[in-house]
Amino acid sequence: MDLDPGLAALRPLGGFFVLRTAPGTAAAGAAPWRLPALADGYAGAAPDVHRDPVASRVAAVGQRLRTREVRVAASIAQQGLAARLWSAALGCAVLYGRLPDLDPRLLRWDVLAIAPDDLWLTELRPLPGDAAALTGTVLHGHLEPLAATLRARYGVAAGLLWGNAGSALAATARELGRWARVHGRTDVAARTRVLTGELFDHPLLSATGVRTGTAFRRRSCCLYYRVPGGGLCGDCCLTRPPRSSPGAASG
């Protein structure tokens, strides 16, 4: 099935899967075109909350969660973006059999908005809907440069960031599987299982946790327990929040 201009097949999956699209030619004053591209945040420059979407998002998440620990805010911000990217990409791959090119230069990011109003794709370029394209588009195109940026700027451990990426992928697959069961779409369920398994075979994801069916137990902690009023996530490697040396779980 060809990708339609509005990626309408994603809408029944829920807002977290929806990817807004904008015209291929920038209309004068069109709101999405005034937003920064994700590529602007991967450039490696010093963080500037006024021009850099990654720095802006980390600051916004920290304020929203009322945490002064920038490492915690960076982790939660990265996991949220990873989940959005996996959801839109895997959702398209299983429903259309095609993938929109999510090149960071094509994706505009409203860092103050929540799904589905946070991401805008400014040009629709179809790619194959296979694991190789998903790996190249999401893993190498976004999550690797994003991880490098967050490690360099905020000192977030690589193991934590890849654990976030694995956790986000597993959660996306579970939600797609649940939707497929409810709607009798055995084809979607089967394709989700195959693609997710192939993605988790990648060296960057294979060691992030243990998969048992659709369940996932990660080998790292996202540090959400350090947020005021926070706790442990359902797939956390910890059984209780640490009382001392909390940073030990971040790797």
- Confidence band for 246, pLDDT divided at 50, 70 and 90: very low
Residue 231 lies in a domain: no
Residue 237 lies in a domain: no
Asked if the bond preceding 116 is cis, omega within 30° of 0, the reply is yes
Which residues form the domain of 113? 8-226
User: 10 pLDDT exceeds 80?
Assistant: yes
Q: What is the phi/psi pair of residue 14, to 5°?
A: 110, 160
- Dump pLDDT digits (tens) for 141-200: 999 999 999 999 999 999 999 999 999 999 999 999 999 999 999 999 999 999 999 999
Residue 249 lies in a domain: no
Query: Under a CB-based contact definition with an 8 Å cutoff, are residues 116 and 205 in contact?
Result: no
- Dump pLDDT digits (tens) for 90-140: 999 999 999 999 999 999 999 999 999 999 999 999 999 999 999 999 999
Give 35's DSSP letter.
Answer: S
Q: How many domains does the chain have?
A: 1
Query: Under a CB-based contact definition with an 8 Å cutoff, are residues 116 and 15 in contact?
Result: yes
Residue 82 lies in a domain: yes
Residue 243 lies in a domain: no
Residue 247 lies in a domain: no
Lowest-confidence segment of 141-145, 191-195, 226-230, 246-250 by average pLDDT: 246-250
Residue 236 lies in a domain: no
Q: What is the phi/psi pair of residue 20, to 5°?
A: -70, 145
User: 29 pLDDT exceeds 60?
Assistant: no
